[in-house]
Amino acid sequence: MTRSSRTPGAESAGRYRRNLFSWVMLTPGLIFLGAFLAVPFLLLFVISFRDVDNWMNMLPTYSLNQYLEVFTSRFYLHMIWTTLWVAIVTTVICIVLAYPAAYLLVRAPNRSVRTALYVILVSPLLTSVVIRTFAWIVLLAQNGLVNEVLMKLALISEPLRLLWNLNAVIIAYVQVMLPFAVLPIATSMGEIDPRLRQASMNLGAGRLRTFWKVTLPLTIPGMMSGAIIVFSLAAGSYITPLLVGGRLQPLLPLAIYQQVLQVANLPLGAAMSMTLLLLVGVLVAGMGLILRRWEGRMHG
Amino acid sequence: MDDREEAGALARRRRRFDGWTLLIWIGGGAVYLFLVVPVLVIILSAFSPNPYPEFPPTEFSLRWFREVFQSEPWMRAIGFSLWLMLIVTVLTVVLGTTAAYGVSRLEFRGKQALLSFMLSPLMIPQVVMGIALLYIFTAMGIIRTMAGLVIGHIIVSFPYVIRTVGVSLSNLDPKLERASMNLGAGPVQTFFRVTLPLIRPGIVAGGVFSAVTSFGEVSISLFVVSPSNMTVPVRIFNYIDQTFDPSVNAISVLFIAVAVLALIIIERTIGLTKVM
C-alpha cells in the first residue's frame, strides 16, 4: 500500500528532475540565439522606421519614409523584380539539372561510383563560397579558360565578355547551389519502391510516361525542399553577384551591402533587408505549403 | 506471326529504353562535369607557373604555394582563421549539443517553432544577418573584435550541430537512458555516462561542420571584421575584388583539401546521407 502510493510520487519527481535538467541544457543556447539572433533582428526592424539627415545620421523620429523610398522608386522596384527573377531562374535550372544528377546517384552501378558522385556533390558545400566563385572568374575572365579554349578552336576571334553580367551570376549560382537541389531529390528518388516503376512499365507506359506519372509526383517533396533552399540562397547572397556580376547589378542583397557599408544609410539598408526577408519568407512559406499539401495527398 | 510481332515490339521498346537510359546518363554526367570542372581548373592553375591558367597545362610548379607560405599577411590570416575556427568549433559544439539534447527530451507547445528558429540561420539572407550584427556589435562596442567574429560564426554554425546531434539523438534507443535512470543514476550522470558517448558521432560531425563553416565564412565576417584581424576568406574576397593574383589558387587548393578531409570524417562518423 505505502509502496504503491510512493512509486508514482517518485516517478513524477524523477520526471521533474529530468525535465529540469533538459531545460537547463536548453537555456544557454536559447539565451545566445535570443541575444544575437532575435534581438538584432528586432532592432533592425525598429531601425527600418528611423529617419536620417543629409549626413546619414539617424534622427530620433520614426516614419515610413524608408519603405516609401523602396516601394515607390522605379529603381528599387526594378531591383526587387530582378532579384526575384534571378532567384527563380536559378531555382528552375537547378531543379531541371538536379533530376538526371540524382538519377545517377541513386542508380550508381556500385559503391565506389556512388561515393565519387557524393564527393563531387558535397565537397563544394564544404568549400568557401569565395573560392567557388573565384573559380568562375578564372574560367570566364577575358583571358580566362573558356575564352582561351574558344579562341584556340577558332570559334571566336575576339574574347567574349562573359563576366560582369547577370548570366555570369546565374551560371555561378547554379553551380554553387546545385548540390542543395540534388541531395533531397536523390533522397526522395531512393525511397520510391522500384516495383511501382516496374508496374507502370509492365502496364505499357514508356519511360517518359512513367517518369511523369510515377517518379515526378513521388519526388515532389524532395524537389520542393531543394527549391526552397536554392531559392532562399539565391535571393539572399551578395558575395557571388559582387564578384562575378560586378557592383552595379540591380540585386537587393548587393544594394543592402553597399547601402550599409558604403553609403552608411543604415535605416534604408534595414528597410531593404526587411523587404528582402518578407519576399523570401512569403515565397518560401508558399512553397512549404505546397510541399505539405502534396505530402498530405501522398499519404492519404 | 503474332509471336514474332510481339517480340519485335518488345525489342523496340527495349531499344527505346536503352536510348533513354543513355540520354539520362549523358545528361547526368554532364551535370557532374559542370560541378567538378571549376574545382579542377583551380587545382590546375595552382600548379601552373604562369599567372594565367592555360589548358592543357604545360608545366608543373609549386611557385604559388611558395609565394603563399612566404607571404607574411597570408600566413597571418591563415593563423588567425585557424584560431577562430578552433574557438568557434568548441563553443558551437557545446552550445549546440546541449540545446539539441534539451529540445529532444522536452515536449511542449511551440517546440517545432523553436526548432525552426534554431535552424533559421541556414535560410536567412546572410547580408541581413550581417547588418543586424554590425549594428548590435557597434552598440555593444565589440565591432571589429575577435568576439564579434566568434559570435557571428557560432550563429551560422549552430544549425549544423543541432541537425547532426539531433540525428544521433533520434537514433538513440530510449531504453538505454531509462535503464540508467532505473538503476539509480540521475539525469546528469545519465547524460555524461550513457547519452554523451552514444551521440559522439553526431557531435564529431557537427564539430566538423562548424569548423568548415567558420573557416569558409565570409558573408557575415565582411561586416564585422577589422583590417588588422583578417580571416582568409575575407582576405581572398578583398584580393579578387581588386586584383587577380594566382596565389589565391594555391590557397584555394588548401581549402579544397580541408573540405575533402572534412567529408571523410563526416562519412566515417554519421554518414553523409543523414545530415545533408
pLDDT tens digits, residue range A181-190? 999 999 889 8
Which pLDDT value is given to residue A298? 75
8 Å CB contact of A137 and B244: yes
Taking alpha carbons only, the member of A177, A195, A189, A187 closest to residue A132 is A177
d(CA B178, CA B158): 28
Asked if residue A257 and residue A116 are part of one domain, the reply reads yes
In whole numbers, what is the pLDDT of chain B averaged over residues? 87
Collapsing DSSP states into helix, strand and coil, what is residue A61?
strand
C-alpha cell at B66: 611558395
Asked if residue A144 and residue A34 are part of one domain, the reply reads no
DSSP E strands in chain B: the ranges are none
d(CA B96, CA B252): 29
Does pLDDT of B3 surpass 80? no
Residue B25: CB atoms within 10 A of its CB come to 14
8 Å CB contact of A208 and B20: yes
N-terminal to C-terminal alpha carbon distance within chain A = 49
Tell me what the mean pLDDT of segment B181-189 comes to: 89
Asked if residue B233 and residue B154 are part of one domain, the reply reads yes
Which of A27, A31, A37 is best to mutate for the B interface (most B CBs within 10 A)?
A: A37
8 Å CB contact of B106 and A19: yes
Asked if residue A125 and residue A81 are part of one domain, the reply reads yes
Length of chain A: 300
What residues of A are in contact with residue B114 (Cβ under 8 Å)? 30
Comparing alpha-carbon positions, the chain B residue that sits nearest to A187 is B273
Asked if residue B128 and residue B83 are part of one domain, the reply reads yes
Contact between residue A29 and residue B95 where contact means Cβ atoms under 8 Å apart: yes
- Count of CA atoms in the C-beta half-sphere (13 A) of B235: 24
Asked if residue A262 and residue A183 are part of one domain, the reply reads yes
C-alpha cell at A90: 536559378
Tell me what the mean pLDDT of segment A261-281 comes to: 93
From B61, B81, B101, the end of a domain falls on B61
Please name the member of B134, B151, B255 whose beta carbon is closest to the beta carbon of A260: B134
d(CA B54, CA A231): 35
8 Å CB contact of A260 and B244: no
| pTM of the shown model | 0.89
Asked if residue B164 and residue B53 are part of one domain, the reply reads no
Asked if residue B44 and residue B154 are part of one domain, the reply reads no
8 Å CB contact of A29 and B99: yes
pLDDT tier, A57 (very low <50, low <70, confident <90, very high otherwise): confident
d(CA A280, CA A272): 12
Comparing alpha-carbon positions, the chain B residue that sits nearest to A281 is B124
8 Å CB contact of A36 and B217: no
Does pLDDT of B140 surpass 50? yes
Residue A143: CB atoms within 10 A of its CB come to 14
8 Å CB contact of A21 and B187: yes
Which pLDDT value is given to residue A102? 94
Asked if residue A144 and residue A9 are part of one domain, the reply reads no
Q: Is residue A17 part of a domain?
A: yes
Query: Of chain A residues 119-178, which have a CB less than 8 A from chain B?
Result: 119-132, 134-139, 141, 143-145, 148-149, 175, 178
Asked if residue A130 and residue A176 are part of one domain, the reply reads yes
> Residue A263 phi/psi, 5° resolution?
-85, -25
Taking alpha carbons only, the member of A83, A77, A69 closest to residue A265 is A69
Longest CA span, chain B: 90
Please name the member of A118, A148, A178 whose beta carbon is closest to the beta carbon of B54: A148
What residues of B are in contact with residue A30 (Cβ under 8 Å)? 99, 114
Asked if residue B151 and residue B104 are part of one domain, the reply reads yes
Domain count of chain B?
2
> Please, what is the Cα angle at A177 between A171 and A179, to 5 degrees?
120
Asked if residue B148 and residue B233 are part of one domain, the reply reads yes
pLDDT tier, A1 (very low <50, low <70, confident <90, very high otherwise): very low
Does pLDDT of B1 surpass 80? no
Give the type of residue at B77: A
C-alpha cell at A41: 533582428
d(CA A294, CA A300): 10
Q: Give residue-wise pLDDT tens across range A4-22.
A: 444 667 777 778 888 899 9
What distance lies between CA A274 and its chain's CA centroid?
17
Does pLDDT of B169 surpass 70? yes
Interchain CB contact of A76 with B (< 8 Å): no
Which of B17, B20, B25, B31 is best to mutate for the A interface (most A CBs within 10 A)?
A: B31
Q: Is residue A177 part of a domain?
A: yes
C-alpha dist (Å) from residue A81 to A71, A205, A266, A274, A279? 11, 41, 22, 16, 10
Q: Is residue A222 part of a domain?
A: yes
User: What percent of chain B is modeled with pLDDT above 90?
Assistant: 50
> A36 lies in which domain range?
2-47
Q: Is residue A54 part of a domain?
A: no
Asked if residue B137 and residue B28 are part of one domain, the reply reads no
8 Å CB contact of A208 and B123: no
Asked if residue B247 and residue B112 are part of one domain, the reply reads yes
Asked if residue B243 and residue B113 are part of one domain, the reply reads yes
C-alpha distance from B82 to closest chain A C-alpha (Å): 14
C-alpha distance from B173 to closest chain A C-alpha (Å): 17
> B5 lies in which domain range?
1-61
Residue with cell 526587387: A80
DSSP secondary structure code for residue B226 in this structure: B
From B41, B61, B81, the end of a domain falls on B61
Asked if residue B258 and residue B169 are part of one domain, the reply reads yes
Contact between residue B89 and residue B207 where contact means Cβ atoms under 8 Å apart: yes
Secondary structure (H, E, C), A199-231: HHHHCCCCHHHHHHHHHHHHHHHHHHHHHHHHH
What residues of B are in contact with residue A284 (Cβ under 8 Å)? 123
Comparing alpha-carbon positions, the chain A residue that sits nearest to B151 is A36
What residues of A are in contact with residue B85 (Cβ under 8 Å)? none
Asked if residue A82 and residue A34 are part of one domain, the reply reads no
Q: Is residue A27 part of a domain?
A: yes
User: What percent of chain A is modeled with pLDDT above 70?
Assistant: 96
What residues of B are in contact with residue A138 (Cβ under 8 Å)? 38, 41-42, 45, 53, 249
Please name the member of B28, B136, B256 whose beta carbon is closest to the beta carbon of A127: B256
Which pLDDT value is given to residue B101? 95
8 Å CB contact of A120 and B36: yes
8 Å CB contact of B42 and A131: yes
Asked if residue A75 and residue A43 are part of one domain, the reply reads no
DSSP secondary structure code for residue A58 in this structure: E
Which pLDDT value is given to residue A4? 44
C-alpha cell at A119: 564527393
Comparing alpha-carbon positions, the chain B residue that sits nearest to A126 is B259
Asked if residue B87 and residue B46 are part of one domain, the reply reads no
Asked if residue A147 and residue A11 are part of one domain, the reply reads no
Does pLDDT of A3 surpass 50? no
Taking alpha carbons only, the member of B271, B257, B234 closest to residue B43 is B257
Domain count of chain A?
2
Q: pLDDT higher for B273 or B21?
A: B21
Query: If residue A50 lies in a helix (H) or strand (E), which one and from where to where?
Result: strand A50-52
8 Å CB contact of B136 and A39: yes
Taking alpha carbons only, the member of A232, A279, A291, A33 closest to residue B113 is A33
8 Å CB contact of B236 and A17: no
8 Å CB contact of B16 and A206: yes
Q: Give residue-wise pLDDT tens across range A162-173.
A: 888 999 999 999
Q: Is residue A16 part of a domain?
A: yes
pLDDT tier, B8 (very low <50, low <70, confident <90, very high otherwise): low
8 Å CB contact of B125 and A239: no
Does pLDDT of A223 surpass 80? yes
Residue B7: CB atoms within 10 A of its CB come to 10
Interchain CB contact of A23 with B (< 8 Å): yes
Q: Is residue A56 part of a domain?
A: no
Does pLDDT of B161 surpass 90? yes
DSSP secondary structure code for residue A241 in this structure: I
d(CA B242, CA B181): 61
Query: Which CATH number characterizes residue B179's domain?
Result: 1.10.3720.10
d(CA A231, CA B125): 11
What residues of B are in contact with residue A56 (Cβ under 8 Å)? none
Asked if residue B103 and residue B204 are part of one domain, the reply reads yes
Q: Is residue A52 part of a domain?
A: no
